[in-house]
Structure 1
Amino acid sequence: MKNIIIKIFIAFMALFMTVSCSEEFLDEPTPTDTVSPEIVFGSREGVEAFISGIMRRFRGQYDSTDSAGLNSIFYARSLKGNDIIQSSTWFRDDYSNTNREPSYRRTRFTWNYCYYMINQANSLIAGVEASDLSVADKKEFSAYGFALRGFFYHQLVLEFSSTYSLDKNFPAPPIYTESVAAGKAMSTVDEVYKQIVSDLTMAVDGLTADRLGKSYINKNVAQGILAQVYQVMGNWQGAADAAKAAYGGDITTALNFDYAKGFDDISNSEWIWGSAQSTDQSNYYWNAPASMADHFTTSYSATFINRNFVDLFSETDIRRVFVKKSAAITDLNDYRYWITRKFTFTFAGDNAIMRTAEMILIEAEAKARIPGKEAEAHTLLYYLQSKRDAAAVKSTNTGAALIEEILLERRKELYAEVGVEWFDAKRLQRAITRTGNHRVGTSANLLANDKKFYLKVPQAEIDANLLIDDSVNENR
């Protein structure tokens, strides 16, 4: 971490020392080390341009095709489960659950990318708080930084530690709340989650519903992130309240999406948050999941669907958009048998980060776990099911059976988007067993609380950080 922190520290200091052209910065927003603080933090427009540059990094070409941005982290999680099958191409080692060693690209990328974004958030917070902006602007823009920081610390602790409910004292990535020139020691899962909740609580307090576009964070997005965090922590009332606030609370107007449109348009009314692409700023073939799952254009055509997962969808479910890969493939046990039309690949295709359906299902799960709230859980679940399947029947399940039904609905609704199957298995301490027609089968199974649920600390971090040594990866 020391090398990374030093580079960002130098860049941050340069930000306050170098004078450049303000018009160029405002016209071409970027997280930058070549513009003076008077320009970046001297006006609302300057800070918005700085934030726009940060948000571009959500979908940029950071390292490689399978390590491009946030979408790469989500897609790697998706492929670690039972529902998706990956060919022997990009993400193949994530699919086989072997891409976790200290020198491997997944480990290096996830650590470096998340810390890069955290340090951008720290620079934003520090610059805003030291500026002469109005009190209201300072509160709002600092809150934006808190939301970013909380979000990426959550990605880090999910990827590099055991789950919250298993061991709160498990070693977790270091916590940085300001740009510094020296690496810090590992923290604990408990410490990271306390920092995340603090950041997101301040974000919710300081943000409003207004934003520059759906690629940006507002109060609803911050509430949605907090709902996901509370899911992991088992704070069910907090999860229910935050999820409801994220989607607006009115389920009768919340869902109105045509699955046939291909999951490539951020203007969709069910997308709460996404990464917008444009042809002139495209990340081209780095755009998983679309580039991997789409078999009908010039994309990688590398992702297939487990036949057992296909069987979970009724014939009347509008999400049953599975087709045979080829008439020449007739064996159901061939891993290439089923593909999905869920995603459409274009160079200007957008990526979903958070959708209304996820928030409704978080609220439903939370209500199912809160005594006396099962009827509300039934209503929420059935509303989503009825929007996806005209033949849906309202559930009469209770207790554990109702929770299982909700978790299954999460898989069916969100597959290949945000790694929901992996996320749920990890937070709930469950196994993932490969079934059906997987290309890599039982060798990639995940036991409950399997070490393969988290990555090892990168060797480059160990070599550079005086406060972290090789022992950190013992028994990992």
Structure 2
Amino acid sequence: MKNCKITSVFMLIIALFTSCKKDFLETFPTDQVAQTTAFESIANAKLAVNGMYRLMYLQISNQSQDAHGAMMLNMDAMGEDFVWSGNTYSYFKPALRWVDHRSASSSLAAFPYLLYYRINSNANMIIENIDNISGATVDKDAIKGECLAVRAWCHFNLVQLYGKRYEAGKQNTQPGIPIAISNDGVDQPRSSVEAVYAQINKDLDQAIILLAAAPARSAKTHVNLSVAKGFKARVALTMQDWTNAAKYAREARTGFSLMSNSDYLGGFTVISNAEWMWGANQLADQVPTYGSFYSYVSGNFNSSWNRLEPKMINSVLYAKIASTDIRKKLWWDGTTADKVNFPGAIDAATGTAASGVKVIKYMHRKFKVQDVNSRAGDIPFMRVAEMYLIEAEALARAGGQDAAAASALYPLAVNRNPSYVLSTKTGAALIDEIMVQRRIELWGEGFRFYDLKRTDSDMDRNGMDNPRVSTSVTYTDIAYTLFKARASQNNLWEYKIPQDEIDINKAIGPEDQNP
């Protein structure tokens, strides 16, 4: 495959490409088709869009590369709240240890690069072709709007991983990532972080205009106007643009509602949940033989990783949850009375706890498959709760808006905890309360690394009393040590550019690698 860089179209097809020519596009849920077929009609273009979304949960090359769901696990593994109860298996431990992402030749450094540029290439191909299709303008605009929003989402994930954090009030000339807005095969250099965010916002602004007139989406697996505004809110929060973060978060959640407390204990695996704004709908016949999001995180699916290494919440964070908060029930308190709610991995043949299952204090039941015979399950990519948290945080950080921030937080907090009283905190204390709410609410959903980096916060794994399945596990082995190396002070917060990209992309040389 001569001179095909990672950010080019060769990411679309692993086995069928024989040259750099853009011959195929991953489109239909079970097949690849020629571009000419994909763009013969609006109907086929919609199938191409479906294929783009499917890439968000397709396994790339191994069990720890189950697309965006795997990146969600990596991002929380790199934080302090998502705790491993054992050290038996290697999957996602490279992220936990904070080592492999700093090796240009590692699969961890390459995986998100491959994943998001792969999805991005599909979005580009649809954007480049959609205007030439015969059909109603409103339908073509809707498709283009979706793909522009997805392209922005891809660049947003990538720049947070491979570039230094954005700092408001500065020029942000630090190296970011290649901006890939065309599949013309031209090698692209690393653009500045500022330029990357400018392109992200340009795409989102255009997407919001196009999606404003779009017909209702066919499913929550697709990006619509609300989700595009949710992206805009996330980006604004990361850029410390507090006004737009609050504005777009508030607009994004319009028309959606928070889930009930009974639904909150339902397993987080049904996309029809009223609170879910966007997610993956992975069916039983679409999961790989090994792997999938629920293979590693489910509280009840009987995989080796769940059975022997149930995932826990950091005990320090758990202690901050009020006893009257429904979220407290997502993790085992260690009592005999509560143990009945945490049987752990279930043997599908008997419907009871699997042989050899580990049940351990602080283990979770947040994510549970509906059918223990299958590791399939829907994956939450965006929920209403996040929008409340973004608005509250943005207002609190803006200064002079503490009362408004507390009011923005209140609907979510009181929904989860009926005994919650409107906060009267101000300043740093209010921000801390909001961030604790965010850590509890979004546990396991892939936000912690990004939050620590964008806020330039310490990542401190000290003080936990979490038990371990095996006495052979040490905190040193899996990096549960004091880690006070803020993003502004340490290069560890940047993933290395994959060596393949440096070797093949003529616009990026060894001198362009992250230090």
Letter in structure 2 aligned against 1:265 = V
Q: CA RMSD of the aligned region, Å?
A: 2.7
Kindly state the Cα deviation for residue 325 of structure 1 after the two structures are TM-superposed: 7.9
**What TM-score do the two structures reach when normalised by structure 2?**
0.82
Verify: 1:423 aligned to 2:450, yes or no: yes
Q: Whole-Å Cα distance in 2 between the matches of residues 474 and 364 of structure 1?
A: 34
Letter in structure 2 aligned against 1:171 = P
Verify: 1:139 aligned to 2:128, yes or no: no
Structure 1 residues 336 and 445, CA gap change in structure 2 (3 angstroms): farther
Contact 1:306 1:335 in 2 (8 A): no
Deviates more, 1:187-196 or 1:294-303: 294-303
Kindly state the Cα deviation for residue 139 of structure 1 after the two structures are TM-superposed: 1.9
Gaps of 5+ in 1: 17-24, 328-333
1:127-173 Cα deviation digits (max 9, x unpaired): 10233333323322211111110000000001101101187111111
Letter in structure 2 aligned against 1:354 = M
Q: Whole-Å Cα distance in 1 between the matches of residues 31 and 512 of structure 2?
A: 32
1:42-93 Cα deviation digits (max 9, x unpaired): 3221111111111111111112222110111121010111111123321011
Partner secondary structure for residue 154 of structure 2: helix
* Aligned pairs (5 A) from 1:149-160: 149-160=151-162
Partner secondary structure for residue 326 of structure 2: coil
Verify: 1:248 aligned to 2:250, yes or no: no
Q: Whole-Å Cα distance in 2 between the matches of residues 157 and 96 of structure 1?
A: 21
Kindly state the Cα deviation for residue 390 of structure 1 after the two structures are TM-superposed: 2.0
Verify: 1:92 aligned to 2:100, yes or no: no
Q: Whole-Å Cα distance in 1 between the matches of residues 451 and 56 of structure 2?
A: 23
Verify: 1:7 aligned to 2:34, yes or no: no
Who is 2:218 aligned against?
Answer: 212
Who is 1:52 aligned against?
Answer: 50
Letter in structure 1 aligned against 2:436 = L
Letter in structure 2 aligned against 1:52 = N
Structure 1 residues 470 and 431, CA gap change in structure 2 (3 angstroms): same
Partner secondary structure for residue 352 of structure 1: strand
Verify: 1:468 aligned to 2:508, yes or no: yes
Letter in structure 1 aligned against 2:92 = F
Structure 1 residues 307 and 279, CA gap change in structure 2 (3 angstroms): same
Letter in structure 1 aligned against 2:277 = I
Verify: 1:350 aligned to 2:349, yes or no: no
Structure 1 residues 12 and 377, CA gap change in structure 2 (3 angstroms): farther
Contact 2:299 2:366 in 1 (8 A): no
Contact 2:221 2:281 in 1 (8 A): yes
Who is 1:311 aligned against?
Answer: 319
* Aligned pairs (5 A) from 1:447-466: 447-449=485-487, 450-466=490-506
Verify: 1:297 aligned to 2:301, yes or no: yes
Kindly state the Cα deviation for residue 298 of structure 1 after the two structures are TM-superposed: 0.8
For residue 266 of structure 1, the aligned residue among 264, 271, 279 is: 271
Structure 1 residues 195 and 52, CA gap change in structure 2 (3 angstroms): same
How many equivalent residue pairs? Answer: 455
1:83-123 Cα deviation digits (max 9, x unpaired): 11123321011111112110111111111111111111110
Kindly state the Cα deviation for residue 11 of structure 1 after the two structures are TM-superposed: 7.4
For residue 201 of structure 2, the aligned residue among 193, 197, 200 is: 197
Q: Whole-Å Cα distance in 1 between the matches of residues 50 and 222 of structure 2?
A: 8
Q: Whole-Å Cα distance in 1 between the matches of residues 433 and 52 of structure 2?
A: 38
Q: Whole-Å Cα distance in 2 between the matches of residues 454 and 437 of structure 1?
A: 30
Kindly state the Cα deviation for residue 351 of structure 1 after the two structures are TM-superposed: 0.4
Contact 1:224 1:359 in 2 (8 A): yes
Verify: 1:229 aligned to 2:232, yes or no: no
Structure 1 residues 170 and 31, CA gap change in structure 2 (3 angstroms): farther
Kindly state the Cα deviation for residue 423 of structure 1 after the two structures are TM-superposed: 1.7
Kindly state the Cα deviation for residue 369 of structure 1 after the two structures are TM-superposed: 3.0
Kindly state the Cα deviation for residue 342 of structure 1 after the two structures are TM-superposed: 0.7
Structure 1 residues 347 and 326, CA gap change in structure 2 (3 angstroms): farther
Kindly state the Cα deviation for residue 442 of structure 1 after the two structures are TM-superposed: 5.2
Q: Whole-Å Cα distance in 1 between the matches of residues 192 and 360 of structure 2?
A: 42
Who is 1:106 aligned against?
Answer: 108
Contact 1:209 1:219 in 2 (8 A): no
Structure 1 residues 6 and 116, CA gap change in structure 2 (3 angstroms): closer
Contact 1:124 1:142 in 2 (8 A): yes
* Aligned pairs (5 A) from 1:17-28: 28=28
Letter in structure 2 aligned against 1:41 = F
Structure 1 residues 137 and 159, CA gap change in structure 2 (3 angstroms): same
**What TM-score do the two structures reach when normalised by structure 1?**
0.89
Contact 2:124 2:151 in 1 (8 A): yes
Deviates more, 1:95-104 or 1:362-371: 362-371
Deviates more, 1:62-71 or 1:142-151: 62-71
Kindly state the Cα deviation for residue 348 of structure 1 after the two structures are TM-superposed: 2.7
Task: Using the aligned pairs only, state the percent identity.
Answer: 28
For residue 282 of structure 2, the aligned residue among 277, 291, 312 is: 277
Q: Whole-Å Cα distance in 1 between the matches of residues 390 and 182 of structure 2?
A: 32
Q: Whole-Å Cα distance in 2 between the matches of residues 281 and 30 of structure 1?
A: 9
Q: Whole-Å Cα distance in 2 between the matches of residues 142 and 184 of structure 1?
A: 23
1:341-395 Cα deviation digits (max 9, x unpaired): 1110342311000000000110111222335533222122122111111221221
Letter in structure 1 aligned against 2:385 = A
Contact 1:85 1:335 in 2 (8 A): no
Larger helix percent: 1
Q: Whole-Å Cα distance in 2 between the matches of residues 14 and 74 of structure 1?
A: 31
Contact 2:9 2:118 in 1 (8 A): no
Contact 1:59 1:283 in 2 (8 A): no
Structure 1 residues 177 and 183, CA gap change in structure 2 (3 angstroms): same
Structure 1 residues 325 and 366, CA gap change in structure 2 (3 angstroms): same
